[in-house]
């Protein structure tokens, strides 16, 4: 692991790092915020998965989560959204290829060699952090959140791996990718046209079939111009049908931007901290 930068921030440290990834077969950049409490012993970790076109930097710089993380004694991890590099496959569209990994393990050419973001986020990066941040991060106490495509990633990864995550939330997540153009296009490319091969990659279906062992927190702006693609209603209906403990709030006047995320991220950090520290 190589250090790109480290800066003092709210009494803690905001760092950016790179490391070779076997899962993605390229170097991957990620960011970690360690709060001041990490100086006294390991703190719980909140993973933040970003959305389409983003890198590790978008949420790190725009979400404003560090102040709340320092207040509650929670570390933040910001992975990238896809593999990077000259030999990594890409597409002319913004919603496929680089910046659009959709947090799945690709099985189809030309994506399969590099696009294994599920394994990277769920397995490889936690193992790296456990080794490199020993004594600072408690990787046995993890929560996960994300925005848009990253909200899809947070919900599906948590619902499929309840042993690895104690808490889950999302901002404007893609709730029903199997029924949306933000999902069907990408899953067909990465996993093939046979929908039976898409597996457990739809949060609404996962809630209906499996549910979650704790509360789910979701914020969604009602002025979001991508509402038809996000399909929030599908997740609401699934939670109601399952009897799932969930707070899904439509926020009047808020859109899909980081102004929306930064407004409500203190609530999400507090939500995760209460569970992770409890």
- Give tens-digit pLDDT for 164-176: 999 999 999 999 9
Q: Which of 56, 72, 114, 256 is catalytic?
A: 256
The total domain count for the chain is 1
In this prediction, residues 101-123 reach a mean pLDDT of: 98
Q: Is 147 a catalytic residue?
A: no
| pLDDT for res 121 | 98
Backbone angles phi, psi at 182, to 5 degrees: -90, 75
Give the pTM: 0.98
Which CATH number does the domain housing residue 199 bear?
3.40.50.1820
pLDDT at 21: 98
List beta partners, residue 249.
219
Please give the Cα distance from 214 to 236 (Å, whole number): 16
Q: How far apart are CA 98 and CA 55, in angstroms?
A: 10
The H-assigned helical ranges of 111-231 are 117-119, 125-132, 149-160, 181-191, 203-209, 227-230
DSSP state of 255: -
pLDDT of amino acid 115: 98
Phi-psi sector, 156: left (phi>0), alpha (psi -120 to 50), beta: alpha
Structural domain that includes position 113: 2-276
Is residue 50 annotated as a catalytic residue, yes or no? no
Which CA distances in Å does 91 have to 115, 152, 186, 188? Answer: 13, 21, 11, 14
pLDDT digits (tens, 9 = 90+) for 210-220: 999 999 999 99
| pLDDT value of position 214 | 97
Cβ within 8 Å of residue 273, ≥6 positions away: 44, 46, 72, 73, 74
* pLDDT number for residue 104: 98
Per-residue pLDDT reduced to its tens digit, 240-266: 999 999 999 999 999 999 999 999 999
**For residues 227 and 233, what is the distance between their CA atoms, to the nearest angstrom?**
9
Among residues 50, 82, 148, 180, which one is catalytic?
148
State residue 178's pLDDT score.
Answer: 98
* Residue 114 appears among annotated catalytic residues: no
């Amino acid at each position: 692991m190589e250090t790109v930068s480290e800066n003092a921030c709210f009494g803690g440290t905001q760092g950016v790092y790179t490391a070779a990834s076997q899962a993605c077969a390229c170097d991957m950049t990620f960011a970690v915020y360690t709060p001041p409490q990490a100086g006294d012993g390991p703190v719980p970790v909140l993973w933040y998965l970003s959305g389409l076109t983003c890198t590790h930097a978008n949420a790190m710089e725009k979400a404003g989560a560090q102040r709340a993380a320092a207040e509650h004694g929670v570390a933040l991890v910001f992975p990238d959204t896809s593999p990077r590099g000259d030999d990594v496959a890409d597409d002319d569209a913004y919603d496929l290829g680089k910046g659009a990994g959709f947090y799945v393990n690709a099985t189809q050419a030309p994506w399969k060699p590099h696009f294994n973001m599920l394994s990277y986020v769920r397995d490889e990066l936690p193992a790296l952090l456990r080794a490199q941040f020993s004594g600072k991060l408690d990787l046995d106490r993890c929560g996960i959140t994300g925005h848009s495509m990253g909200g899809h990633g947070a919900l599906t990864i948590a619902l499929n791996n309840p042993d690895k995550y104690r808490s889950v939330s999302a901002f404007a997540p893609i709730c029903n990718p199997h029924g949306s153009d933000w999902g069907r296009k990408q899953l067909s490319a990465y996993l093939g046209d046979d929908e039976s091969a898409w597996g457990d990659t739809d949060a609404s279906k996962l809630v209906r079939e499996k549910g979650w062992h704790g509360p789910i927190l979701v914020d969604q702006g009602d002025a979001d111009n991508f509402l038809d693609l996000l399909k929030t209603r599908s997740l609401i209906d699934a939670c109601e049908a399952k009897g799932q403990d969930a707070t899904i709030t439509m926020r009047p006047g808020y859109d899909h931007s980081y102004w929306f995320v930064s407004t409500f991220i203190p609530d999400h950090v507090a939500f995760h901290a209460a569970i992770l520290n409890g």
